Structure formats: structure tokens, C-alpha cells
Amino acid sequence: MPTEERNALQLDPFAFPPETKGRFLMLMLAALAFGDSLGNILYFIVDGISSFREVEAASLELVRRWWRPDPLKISPAEMKAAAREIAYVLTEKFAPFVFRLLIIPGAVLLLFTCLAIFLYRHHNQRLKRRYASKPLTRAEAPKVVADLESCAASSGLPLPKLEYSSGLVQGHAFGYKGQEVLILAGTPEVLENAWEKSCRPVALHELAHVANGDARDRDKAKALWTVFVIFLLLGFIGLCGLRGFSWKAGGLTLKFAAMLLFVYVIWAGLIRIREYYADWRAASWGVGSQLQRLLSLSEGEVGLWERWNWWWRAWNRWGEKAWWRLGGDIGTWCRHKAKRLLRFHPSFSSRLSMLKNPRKLFQVSPDLSFLTGVLLTLVLGGALFFLVKLSMLVFLVLGLLDVALLDRLGNLPVGTPRNGLLAGLNISIELLLFLAFSSALMGVAYLASKTIGVQVQRRAVADLAGGVSRSWGYARLLGPAFLLAVGMEVGFLIAPFSLLAPGSPESWKALPIWLAGSTALMWLWLACAHGLSRMLLGSYVGAENPRLRRAVVSWASVGVLTVLFWPAAFARLTVRLAPMLKSRASLPLNLSPQKFFIYGFFMPTLVLLILAITVYILGVLFTLAALRIGPLHRRGRCPTCGEEVTYTLSLGRNCRSCGESLTPWIHAKNVQSGLEPES
Amino acid sequence: MDVGEFLAVPANREAVRAVALKALTKLEPSGAEVALGYLEPLIDMAARGEVVTMDLWDEAGRFGTVDLLVPLVAPLVAQALARAGGGIASVTVEDVKRMVLRVRSPQGRRRLREIEGELNAAFVEHGNGEGPGEGLHAD
């Protein structure tokens, strides 16, 4: 398809939900999951590790009784006895432990959440105090208030509470839903006087943050991680006070520090990306050229300490000294190095270029792939204990159900009906366990598809609009797939209490194979999301956003990733548990550790891998057939002139009859026309 | 002369405006147009003895760091011209430093000598009648 047939209209970054929403959600979940993990530590301090070992033995006992080699041959009396034994282990040994494990960390998590909510609900007051802001009234600044009122009304937003503080060409929007505050820098007379040229674009940029919902996501994540740090410090001080400092605690502290550094980098990166979206939203409200002028100004260089009075007093006193200058030079050098990762705003030049061409917002950047991988496993690493506890609860409930049913089946004589019911019972319980396991994986798949999945959809659409060749579009997904796999591995390594981190020489040796396999599975997933987006969204013709088609792509992507996660999760457990099983003397079915490993982990992994690949291939074939019969076969009509479209994939093309775009939904309106051409 | 009294005369205000613009055009050519919108209220504030304190801390959710020199230059020019009465005004590095400290201008802190040089050049140019609104009017 020749490129010249494509129209050159700019893509609209708001045609898709931003992937940053998904990453903010992951940040919040990771904080909650680690909050729960801190509760688990408290549990082990209170209850001791010995009770955990007892329960481990009880669990193995249960599994051994459950997996009888000859379940169909047992007599009714034996069945009743088995039900009683299982009931005893469940109620006497298992249930008290599970309830304690749920209650103590649950209470910590509740406290954690309450404190985070408190911080979140009070950050308005904190920020207002920090700025020493004053309410901006209509009497003081009539033009400003009236203009902002009309802007907010035309975009369907309630007007945030307006305040002003010291400074120039600056603004800050924050606050929770219904209580948003917009602080503008400058006195009312400064704001009135410089409104059109420089204050209005700043104010609309901030209002755009409110419209995009950034302030809420950002401050919720901040509140949760702040509470996590508070709990962590209190816990660390308490633990050192109780047991003294140990190198093990020191190592764990380093792990926490690495994790917090990663979280900070991810958080700062998300805030930087949100700035691009806010600039775009403000430009779509008609201040593109003013924003462009502001972003053409030289950017301020603010030192780390320049926020505080004492620093300025020190500068006044020693600013001319050679040692002060040398320290300043070193500080500036360090700041420049760290700035790329830690700053909250992209450089003005980068914002300016994104305002002129938002193509980067449609790409899958290396840092997005890598950091999404890290975040996914941080969430998984933190939530694993929580999932283990939930599994224990499910296990307990299913166990009690099994006891009740076994007791009833014990009244039936040996024969086909009883054996049929028994087999049905065992299969149902295993199916329920599998569904519980799959729903956890589905949760992780949902998070992945809300982030990198959305970005792949965006890129597929941008590729199609830009006329990028089909095969290159699939081939270059290998990079993000590899970085996603590497990021996940790094996440496993830095996540404290991670049960799935490589912990033995064997698991380290298996790492290259794991990475290769994981890259392949991720590529299959990304390729599926890319292909489906290309065909389903590319074939759409119209002005309205194809929400239903986007939802189909997203949920299909969640389903595919869940299926591909099955073998990956089992493979991970296999690698992790292999060395642990070697030391086990008593295993269910009286199997040797090697046999138990082969039948319990290796074979299921292999079976699940074959199953996943089969489901994937069948799914792709079925989808292709459905697309050929449905969306790819049906020809839409031009939204402007109503002429039937002759293209199979119409995205980014103009109508041959009227020359207007066939897919206005993907093109930005009112932005580029408002920007001044590049000099 | 007191800055407030000095700026009460429209011609003096015009002189402050002209000198400040001249210096700003040299010091930050790209920001001169934006600075223009801030000059009048900043001169009003200078008349009351007030300045705008810059707050450029890179905080999540803010607009970004636009570090303009106008909040530093406008009161400095007003003070210097008021101090000079009818003669040619001048500023020293210490004057600039004092104002930097009040305004907390990071850019000003880094360019103390340059600002002093450009301001003095603008005063001389203005005193020699090479700019708009030249000459001072003291009542």
C-alpha cells in the first residue's frame, strides 16, 4: 500500500485511554500488596514460624489423603473414616492458622489503608499550607474567574476551588473528586494583567490535569507509598529494637531501598507522561500557540535545596567562596545525571516536540516495556502472600465441602453411581482450584493489558495510519517482549519476600531458558494484540470512537495472556520448587521427590504449554475466520458523504469520493491548527 | 527618593518600563514578550515595596519551571532609578544579590554579574537618550 494514499492528519492521543492509568493502578496495588506483606511479618513475629511448619505438614497430610492412588476402591466405612480424618486436620490444624493469618495481616492492611485514605483526604490542606495560598475571588480577578468558569463549563468540569500564591508562570492542580483546587502563581493583578499571554495557558494546562484525572491517581499512589514507607521504617526500627541489627535485615533493607527507588522512578516517569497529555488537552481547548510560546522559553534550573530559606541564607553568606562553588558544580553535575529519571516534568523541548507531533505517545518505548515488567512482578511478588492466603481459604472451604460430600457418599454402596459421583467431586474440586488459580493470573493479565497492551493497540493503529509494513510491525514487537521479560525478572529479584525470585544455583542456570521462553510467550501475546487491533480497529470507518471494538481487543488480549500465563506460572514454580523438593522425605502418594517433581510440576507445565499453544492457534484461526466473515468483509460508508468504502483497512485514509478522512475518530481536532508552524 | 513616590509619576513608570525591557531583551530574548505582560503589575508591586517570590520547585502536578528574570529586574530598575533621582542610575553586584535573595531567583543567582552588567548598560543607554521614554522626571 503506497504511503502517499494515507492522509497526513495528526493522531489524537485521547482516542485510547492512556496506559498510565494502568500503571498508576499497578503502583497502588503494589503498595497495598506490600502493606499486606508487612502484616505477614508481624504475624510471624506474633505467632512464630513453628506454627507455619505445622500447617505445612498438615497441608501435605491433606494432599496425601486427597490424592489416593485407588480412590474408587475404598469401602463406605473407609470413606467415612477418611472424611473424619480430613475434617479433623482441617478444623483443628488448618482453620485456626488460616484465620489467624487472615486476621493479623488483615488488621495491619486495614490500618494501612485507613492511614493512606487519611493522608489522601488531607493533602489539599497540606499543599495549601505549603503554598500559603489565598482564595482568588471574582472581585479581585473578574476576567480570570469568568474565563476559567466558562472553560470548565464547556469541558463539563466543575470549576476547581481557585487560589493564588507566590511565583509567576506556575500552577498546581490537586485534590480529590469534588474538592479539586487550582492554585495559580501570581497576585490577582498579575494574573489579570498577564492572563492571555502566559497565565491562561498555564491555568488551562492545570485544568487539563483535572479533566484527565491525573491529580487523583498521582496523589492516591503517593499516599499509599508514603504510608508504606512509614510502616516500613517503624517496622524496621521496631525489629532492630527487639532483635538487634542483623546482616539479613540489612540485606532486606537494601532490597526495599532498590524497590522504592524503582517505584519512585516509575512514579516520576508516569507524571512526566501525564504532562504531555495535559499539554494536548489544553491545546485542544485553544491555547496551543500560547503554550508553544511558553515552552520555547529557557527552562529554569532549580537546585535540590533552593526550596528552603536556610539555603538562600547560606548562599548569601558563602556563595562567593570557592568551596561553595565547587560543591555547587558537583551538585549540578549529579542533578543533571539524575534528572532524566527523577524529574517530574519532561524538558520543554520534549513537550514542545510532543505538542507538534504526538507520535511518541503511540509508541512502545523501551522504558515502558521494562518498567511495566518490573511493576507486574512487584505487584505479583507483593500479592503472592495475599494470594497464598486466599488459596488457603479456598482450600479450606473446598476441603470442608469435600468432607461433607465424602460423608454423604460414604452412605452409598461401592458401585458405578458412587464412583461416578466421587470422580465428579474430585474433578470439580480440581477445576475450582484451577479457576481460582486462573482468576489470579487473569488479574495480572488485565493489568498488563491495561498498560503495554493499550500501548500496542495505539502503535498498531499508528503503524497503519503511517503505512508501516505489516511484517515489520510484528517483528519489532520482539524488543518490547524481551524487555518485558527482563523487567519481570528484575521485579522478581528486587521484590522483598518474593517467593518466585531465583534462589538457588539451579534456578540461576535456568534463567536464560526462562528468559527465552518468557520472551516468546510475551511476543505471542503482543503479536495477537497487535494483529487484532490492526484488523478490528483498522477496518472501522466512522467518526465515533469504536469503544466496543476496543473492548473486544482488550478482553481478547486479557484472555490470551491468561492462557499463556498458565505454562509460565507452572514453569516458574517448577524452577523455584525443584531444589526445595529434593529435601522432602514425605510426599503425597509416597512418591520419590524426583517422581513427584516430574508428575507434579514438570508434566503439568508441559501439558499446559501444549494446551496454551493449542488454544492460542485455535483462537487465532477462529478470530481470523470471524474477522473475514464479519468486519473485514463488510464495507462501511464514509462518515462525510455516505459513499461505500472500497478499502479493507481504512484507517488513516481519505474517502475517494469526497476526500475527507474515513476515520475521523483517530484524528486530533482543534490542535494543530492552533499551533504556530516550526521556524 | 522613595520608590513609591518616584513611581507615582507616569513618566518615571515609563522610564522603568523602558529600561527593564531593554535589559530583559538582552538577558532573555525569548522571554521578553511574556515578561511584558508582567511588567505593569510588578512595577505596581515595587511601588508598594513588594516583590514576587519565585517558587520553581519541581513538584509533581505543577506546570514546569519557567524561570523568568522580570520579577528580579523590574524592582531592581525601579529602585535604582528612584535612588539616582535625575542622574544616571547604576546597580552593584551586591544590589542584584540582595534582590536575588528577596525574589529567590535561581537564574538570577547564576547570572549575578551578567545582570549587573546589562542593567548598567541599559541605564547608561537610557541616560544618553538612546531608548524610548528617556529622561527622568522627579517632582
Q: How close A196 comes to chain B (CA, Å)?
A: 9
**With an 8 Å Cβ cutoff, are A298 and B101 in contact?**
no
Distance separating alpha carbons of residues A354 and A301, to the nearest angstrom: 21
Joined together, the cell numbers standing for residue A406 give 465424602
CA distance B39 to chain A (A): 9
Q: Are strands A161-165 and A134-135 parallel, antiparallel or unpaired?
A: antiparallel
Top mean pLDDT of A202-206, A471-475, A573-577 is at A202-206
* Averaged pLDDT for residues B79-105: 90
Best B40, B50, B56 residue to mutate vs chain A (most A CBs within 10 Å): B56
- Per-residue pLDDT at A77: 82
Is the model's pLDDT at A374 over the cut of 80?
yes
What's the pLDDT at A28? 94
pLDDT digits (tens, 9 = 90+) for A7-41: 778 888 999 988 888 999 999 999 998 888 888 87
Does ipTM top 0.95? Answer: no
Between chains, do A168 and B38 touch, taking CB under 8 Å as contact?
A: yes
Q: Of the candidates A79, A24, A42, which has an alpha carbon nearest to the alpha carbon of residue A402?
A: A79
B40 touches chain A (CB under 8 A): yes
A182, closest residue in chain B (CA to CA):
B62
Confidence (pLDDT) at A3 = 42
Rounded CA-CA distance B75/B50 in Å is: 8
pLDDT of residue A419: 79
A202 CB neighbours in chain B (<8 A) are 63
Higher pLDDT, B100 or A674: B100
Chain A, chain B: beta-carbon pairs less than 8 Å apart: 145
Beta strand pairing status for A134-135 and A171-174? unpaired
Q: Which amino acid belongs to residue A527?
A: A
pTM over 0.80: yes
Specify the pLDDT at position A679. Answer: 44
Please name the member of B38, B66, B97 whose beta carbon is closest to the beta carbon of A300.
Answer: B66
For residues A664 and A670, what is the distance between their CA atoms, to the nearest angstrom? 13
Spatial contact of A295 and B65, defined as CB atoms under 8 Å apart: no
pLDDT at A677: 52
pLDDT of residue A643: 87
Chain B residues with CB-CB distance to A319 below 8 A: 97, 109
What's the pLDDT tens digit per position in A265-317?
999 999 999 999 999 999 988 888 899 989 988 777 777 677 778 888 888 88
Q: Do A302 and B58 touch (CB under 8 A)?
A: yes
| Closest by Cβ to A193, choosing from B41, B65, B68 | B41
Tens-digit pLDDT profile for residues A521-537:
999 999 999 999 999 99
Chain B residues close to A298, C-beta within 8 Å? 28, 30-31, 67
Taking alpha carbons only, the member of A270, A256, A257 closest to residue A343 is: A270
| A589-618 tens-digit pLDDT | 566 767 777 777 778 889 999 999 999 999
* Residue of A128, A143, A168, A316 best to disrupt the B interface, most CBs of B under 10 A: A168
CB contact under 8 A, B56 and A167: yes
- Decide if A198 and B60 are in contact by the 8 Å CB cutoff: no
Residue ranges in A132-213 assigned as alpha helix (H)? 142-154, 188-193, 200-212
Residue to test with chain B: of A120, A128, A140, A169, most B Cβ within 10 A: A169
Q: How would DSSP label each residue in A46-105?
A: HH-HHHHHHHHHHHHHHHHHHS-SSTTT--HHHHHHHHHHHHHIIIIIIHHHHHHHHHHH
Nearest-neighbour CA in chain A from B136: distance (Å): 25
Q: Treating both helix axes as pointing N-terminal to C-terminal, what angle do A214-243 and A247-282 enclose, rounded to 10 degrees? A: 170
| pLDDT tens digits, one per residue of A307-324 | 778 888 888 888 888 888
**C-alpha radius of gyration, chain A, whole number:** 30
Taking CA–CA distances from B29, the nearest residue in chain A reads: A297
Q: How confident is the model at residue A50 (pLDDT cuts 50, 70, 90)?
A: low
**Chain A residues touching B55 at Cβ < 8 A:** 131, 165-167, 170, 185
Quote the pLDDT of residue B96: 95
Question: What is the SS3 assignment for A184?
Answer: strand
Contact between residue A382 and residue B102 where contact means Cβ atoms under 8 Å apart:
no
Which of B48, B54, B58, B62 to mutate: most A Cβ within 10 Å? B62
The partner residues of A161 in beta bridges, in order of sequence, read: A181
Q: What are the start-end ranges of the E strands in A264-363?
A: none
Assess B116–A contact: CB distance below 8 Å, yes or no: no
pLDDT tens column, A189-229: 999 988 988 899 999 999 999 999 888 889 999 999 999 99
Mutation pick from B44, B65, B92, B94 vs chain A, by most beta carbons of A within 10 Å, is B65
Among A560-564, A645-649, B22-26, B75-79, the range scoring the smallest mean pLDDT is: A645-649
Express as a percent the part of chain A with pLDDT over 70: 93
Does A306 contact B104 at a Cβ distance shorter than 8 Å? yes
The x, y and z cell numbers of residue A679, run together, are 521556524
Nine-digit cell string for A278: 495535559
- A298 and B40 within 8 Å at the Cβ level: the answer is no
Q: What does the DSSP assignment read for A280-300?
A: HHHIIIIIHHHHHHHHTSPBP
Nearest to B31 among A167, A268, A297 (CB): A297
Residue A667, SS3 per DSSP: strand
Nearest CA in chain B to A167: B54
> Average model confidence (pLDDT) for chain A?
85
Question: What is residue B134's predicted lDDT score, i.e. its pLDDT?
Answer: 44
Residue A637 near residue A643, CB atoms below 8 Å: yes
pLDDT tens, residue by residue, B33-90: 888 889 999 999 999 999 998 877 778 888 888 888 999 999 999 999 998 877 788 9
Chain B residue with the nearest C-alpha to that of A328: B110
Q: Which three cell numbers stand for residue A534?
A: 490492526
Q: What is the C-alpha end-to-end distance of chain A, expressed in Å?
A: 33
Mean pLDDT on A407-428: 80
- Cβ distance B54 to B106 under 8 Å? yes
Amino acid A513: pLDDT: 86
User: What span, in angstroms and rounded, lies between the C-alpha atoms of A398 and A430?
Assistant: 10
Q: Which of B34, B54, B60 sits opposite A294 (nearest CB)?
A: B34
- In the predicted structure, residue A91 carries a pLDDT above the cut 70: yes
- Which pLDDT does position A71 carry in this prediction? 64
**Cβ–Cβ of A202/B63 closer than 8 Å?**
yes
Provide CB contacts within 8 A for A245, sequence distance 6+.
none
pLDDT tops 60 at residue A568? yes
B47 in reach of chain A (CB within 8 A) = no
| b/e per residue A417-451 (b: at least 16 CB within 10 A) | ebeeebeebeeebeeeeeebbbebbbbbbbbbbbb
**Strand pairing of A181-185 and A171-174?**
antiparallel
3-state DSSP call for residue A172?
Answer: strand
pLDDT at B132 over 70: no
How do A134-135 and A181-185 pair as beta strands? unpaired
In the prediction, which pLDDT does A675 show? 58
Q: By the CB < 8 Å criterion, does B29 face chain A?
A: no
Average pLDDT over residues B93-109: 92
In the prediction, which pLDDT does A2 show? 43
Q: How far apart are alpha carbons A482 and A519 in whole angstroms?
A: 5
Q: Which residues of A touch B52 (CB under 8 A)?
A: 166-168, 186-187, 190
pLDDT, tens only, A341-361: 778 888 899 999 998 888 889
Taking CB atoms and an 8 Å limit, are B62 and A171 in contact across chains?
A: yes
Cell numbers for A201, please give them: 495557558
Shortest distance between the Cα of B106 and any Cα of chain A, in A, equals 6
The answer to whether the beta carbons of residues A446 and A334 sit under 8 Å apart is no
With contacts defined as CB-CB under 8 Å, which chain A residues touch B33? Answer: 197, 293
Give the count of alpha carbons within 13 A of A582, CB side only: 7
Query: Distance (Å, rounded) from C-alpha A182 to C-alpha A161?
Result: 6
Out of A34-38, A328-332, A578-582, B94-98, pick the least confident. A578-582
